[in-house]
């Protein structure tokens, strides 16, 4: 299990999590004012499909596939109008194409029969869709302006641990820890800040602490 920095934060007298979270958010918001979801989409359905396709691959890879995909499939009915083998070929480059094609078709069928062809906003409805787990549901609901949780991906997990905001490994437990300290109005944007900071500064193997705007608030800093 990775080292826990919760106790280290106390040892270094950096303040309690609730005391540090405000400055952490403010500084990251200033440093990464352009932080947003990397996936490209033009509609709610395209957002949902993009996030489903992003499982086990990169956003860059998904963005290579979706322009042609979304030109061909414009509404839920379009995904059901072709043989599943054709949809599999169209999303092949995203990996796990058979499972994803099955999940997408199942989701589109449910959107049509239960939600009038619209993507639901409520988390409890989203997680009922085939192939939509909590992380996907959190991403979709947040991007639609109805954040009901906090997205936890690999960057959010790593930085939350390094900042001493959680000592947990399980994404659900990490999300609960973050929900206790992150103000609800920031639930949607906070993951974006951590993701972009993780990509630009807080590298998994070689974090650039000397360039970090929250170094003095981080118990994992290598400068002290």
**Active-site residue set:** 135, 153
Question: From CA 171, how far away is CA 156, in angstroms rounded?
Answer: 9
With both helix axes pointing from N to C terminus, report the angle between 17-31 and 190-200 in degrees, rounded to the nearest 10: 70
Tokens of 66: 């979706």
Residue 13 CA, chain-centre distance (Å), reads 31
Question: From CA 119, how far away is CA 125, in angstroms rounded?
Answer: 9
Backbone phi, psi, residue 91, to 5°: -115, 10
Question: From CA 155, how far away is CA 208, in angstroms rounded?
Answer: 15
Residue 8 CA, chain-centre distance (Å), reads 27
Tokens of 100: 């994803």
Q: Which residues contact 3 (CB under 8 A, 6 or more apart)?
A: none
Tokens of 113: 């029969």
In 23-168, the DSSP E strands lie at none
User: Residue 218 — left, alpha, or beta (φ > 0 → left; ψ -120 to 50 → alpha)?
Assistant: beta
């Amino acid at each position: 299990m990775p080292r826990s920095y919760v106790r280290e934060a106390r040892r270094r007298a950096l303040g309690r999590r609730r005391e540090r979270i405000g400055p952490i958010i403010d500084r990251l918001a200033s440093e990464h004012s352009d932080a947003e979801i990397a996936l490209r989409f033009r509609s709610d359905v395209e957002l949902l499909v993009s996030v489903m396709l992003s499982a086990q691959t990169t956003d860059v890879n998904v963005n290579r596939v979706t322009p042609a995909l979304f030109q061909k499939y414009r509404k839920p009915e379009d995904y059901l109008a072709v043989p599943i083998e054709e949809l599999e070929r169209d999303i092949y480059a995203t990996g796990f194409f058979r499972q994803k094609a099955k999940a997408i078709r199942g989701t589109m069928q449910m959107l049509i029969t239960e939600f009038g062809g619209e993507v639901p906003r409520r988390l409890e409805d989203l997680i009922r869709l085939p192939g939509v787990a909590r992380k996907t549901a959190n991403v979709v609901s947040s991007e639609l302006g109805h954040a009901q949780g906090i997205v936890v991906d690999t960057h959010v997990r790593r930085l939350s641990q390094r900042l001493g905001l959680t000592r947990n490994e399980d994404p659900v437990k990490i999300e609960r820890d973050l929900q206790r300290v992150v103000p609800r109005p920031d639930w949607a944007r906070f993951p974006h800040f951590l993701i972009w900071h993780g990509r630009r500064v807080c590298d998994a193997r070689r974090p650039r602490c000397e360039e970090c705007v929250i170094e003095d608030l981080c118990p994992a800093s290598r400068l002290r």
